C-alpha cells in the first residue's frame, strides 16, 4: 500500500471505523535514519490504534526506528516481509527476507528488546514457486522464538522474478488453508489472514478459525465497507455518520491541513474517491473531486459542486 495508506487516508478510514487497526504504508529504515523523521512519522491523534510498518533488514537500524515509532506514539511496530517489488528487493528487505528466517528473527529480537509495544511481522506463505508448507512453518517458528507473537499472512506466494507487484497480488494462487494450518500448529500465536477478501461473509468464515483479517485494496476502493465493521465484528453501536457527513468532515480536515501544513486538498481527496461507489452520480462526483483546476476553491465549495449533478439527477 505504498503511497496509498498515508496519514490522510488513515484519517478518512478512521471516520468509518473506530476499532479496526490501521497500518501505515511501509517506511524504510533508511528514510528514518537519514531523512525527515517528522514527515514520515507524523500522524493524527484520531488514527489510533495505528501500527507503524517498517521495511529494513539491519537489526540495529530497525531497533532505532522501532524506538522512534514508539516515541511518536504508534501502537504497534510491524516488519514487512511480504512486499515483492524489485525496488524493495534491491534494498534487501520485504518478501526476500523469508529466505533468511534467522536474520528476521535477529531483527525482531532487536526491536522487541527496545520497545514495549507489540512487534509483529507481515509475510507471504512462500517465495517463488516453492509451495512447501514446511517453508512458512519453519519461518514462523524461527521468528516466534525471537519474541514475535502476531503474524499477518498474505496467503499467496511472492514471486521475486517475472511478476510485477500488481501481478503478485493476482497470479500466485490463494491458499488460505496454509494459514489455517499455521494457527493449528502454533495455537498460542496470533494469526491474521490477508488476500482477496471483498465481503464480510468471507471475513466471518476466516475469523472462526483465525484471530484477524487484514483488508487492503478493497478497503481503499470500496471504503464504505468499513462503516459496518464496528457493529458486525466488534458488537458495538453502529456508526451514525452518513456518506455526506463523512465527506463534510473530510472537508473540515482539508481546511485544517491547509492551515497547519500547507497541504493541498487534492492530496487528501484522492483517498476518498471510492466513498460513493455504486451510487447514482458517483462518476461525476469523482470527476469533480479529481479536477485539479478546482484546487483554488475551498473544500466545502468543491463538495457543494460535486453534489450538484447528483441532486439534479434525483
pLDDT tens readout for residues 47-93: 999 999 999 999 999 999 999 999 999 999 999 998 876 665 555 67
**With contact defined as beta carbons under 8 Å apart, do 15 and 249 qualify?**
yes
Task: Report the pLDDT value the prediction gives residue 27, as an integer from 0 to 100.
Answer: 95
Instruction: State the pLDDT at residue 276.
Output: 97
Has residue 146 got a pLDDT over 80? yes
Residue 142 · residue 101 · CB < 8 Å: yes
Class of residue 283 by CB neighbours under 10 A (exposed 0-12, middle 13-18, buried 19+)? exposed
Per DSSP, which regions of the chain are E strands? 22-23, 27-28, 50-55, 76-81, 119-127, 150-158, 190-194, 212-214
Residue 99 has pLDDT above 90, yes or no: yes
**Pick the residue with more confidence: 163 or 96?**
96
Q: What is the mean pLDDT of residues 139-161?
A: 95
User: pLDDT digits over 201-225, tens only?
Assistant: 999 999 999 999 999 989 999 999 9
The pTM (predicted TM-score) of the whole model is 0.92
Is the pLDDT at 41 greater than 90? The verdict is: yes
Domain 7-234 class in CATH: alpha beta
Tens-place pLDDT, residues 114-133 = 999 999 999 999 998 888 99
| Residues of each domain in the chain carrying CATH 1.20.120 | 243-313
Q: Which is more confident, 1 or 18?
A: 18
In the structure, how many helices (H) and strands (E) does the chain have?
Answer: 16, 8
Q: Which three cell numbers stand for residue 310?
A: 447528483
Specify the DSSP class assigned to residue 171: S
The one-character DSSP state at 99 is G
Burial class of 100 by CB neighbour count within 10 A (0 to 12, 13 to 18, 19+): middle
Distances in Å between the Cα of 102 and the Cα atoms of 20, 105, 179, 258, 287 are 31, 5, 21, 46, 49
* Dist. CA 192–CA 183, nearest whole Å: 9
pLDDT over threshold 50, residue 110: yes
CATH 3.20.20.70 domain position(s) in the chain: 7-234
Q: Enter the C-alpha cell of residue 107.
A: 531483527
**Average pLDDT of 181-207?**
95
Residue 140: the pLDDT is 98
pLDDT of residue 236: 93
Class for the domain spanning 243-313: mainly alpha
Active-site residue flag, 96: no
Transcribe 27-91 into DSSP letters: EEHHHHHHS-HHHHH---GGG-SEEEEEE---HHHHHHHHHHHHHTT-SEEEEEE----HHHHHT
Percent of the chain exceeding pLDDT 70 equals: 94
**pLDDT value at 312 more than 70:** no
Query: 9, 65, 83, 148: which one is catalytic?
Result: 83
What is the pLDDT, as a whole number, of residue 222?
95
22 strand-pairing partners:
50
Cα separation, 146 vs 105, whole angstroms: 5
Average pLDDT of the segment spanning 174-197: 97
Amino acid at each position: 500500500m505504498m503511497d496509498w495508506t498515508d496519514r490522510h487516508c488513515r484519517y478518512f478510514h478512521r471516520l468509518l471505523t473506530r476499532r479496526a487497526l490501521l497500518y501505515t504504508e511501509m517506511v524504510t529504515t533508511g528514510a528514518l535514519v537519514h531523512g525527515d523523521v517528522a514527515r514520515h512519522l507524523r500522524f493524527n491523534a484520531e488514527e489510533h490504534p495505528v501500527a507503524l510498518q517498517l521495511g529494513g533488514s539491519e537489526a540495529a537500524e530497525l531497533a532505532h526506528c522501532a524506538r522512534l515509532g514508539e516515541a511518536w506514539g504508534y501502537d504497534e511496530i510491524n516488519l514487512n516481509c511480504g512486499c515483492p517489488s524489485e525496488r524493495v528487493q534491491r534494498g534487501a528487505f520485504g518478501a526476500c527476507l523469508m529466505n533468511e528466517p534467522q536474520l528476521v528473527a535477529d531483527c525482531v529480537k532487536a526491536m522487541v528488546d527496545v520497545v514495549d509495544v507489540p512487534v509483529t511481522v507481515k509475510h507471504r506463505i512462500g517465495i517463488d514457486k516453492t509451495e512447501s508448507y514446511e517453508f512458512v512453518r519453519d519461518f514462523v517458528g524461527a521468528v516466534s522464538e525471537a519474541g514475535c507473537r502476531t503474524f499477518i499472512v498474505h496467503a499467496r506466494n511472492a514471486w521475486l522474478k517475472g511478476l510485477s507487484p500488481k501481478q503478485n497480488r493476482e497470479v500466485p494462487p490463494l491458499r488460505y488453508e496454509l494459514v489455517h494450518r499455521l494457527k493449528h500448529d502454533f495455537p498460542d500465536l496470533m494469526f491474521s489472514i490477508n488476500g482477496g477478501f471483498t465481503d464480510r461473509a468471507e471475513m466471518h468464515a476466516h475469523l472462526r478459525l483465525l484471530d484477524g483479517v487484514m483488508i487492503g485494496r478493497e478497503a481503499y476502493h470500496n471504503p464504505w465497507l468499513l462503516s459496518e465493521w464496528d457493529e458486525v465484528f466488534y458488537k458495538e453501536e453502529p456508526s451514525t455518520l452518513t456518506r455526506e457527513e463523512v465527506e463534510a468532515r473530510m472537508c473540515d480536515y482539508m481546511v485544517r491541513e491547509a492551515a497547519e501544513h500547507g497541504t493541498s486538498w487534492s492530496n487528501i481527496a484522492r483517498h476518498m474517491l471510492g466513498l460513493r461507489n455504486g451510487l447514482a452520480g458517483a462518476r461525476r462526483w469523482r470527476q469533480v473531486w479529481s479536477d485539479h483546476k478546482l484546487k483554488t476553491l475551498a473544500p466545502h465549495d468543491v463538495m457543494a459542486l460535486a453534489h450538484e449533478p447528483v441532486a439534479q439527477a434525483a
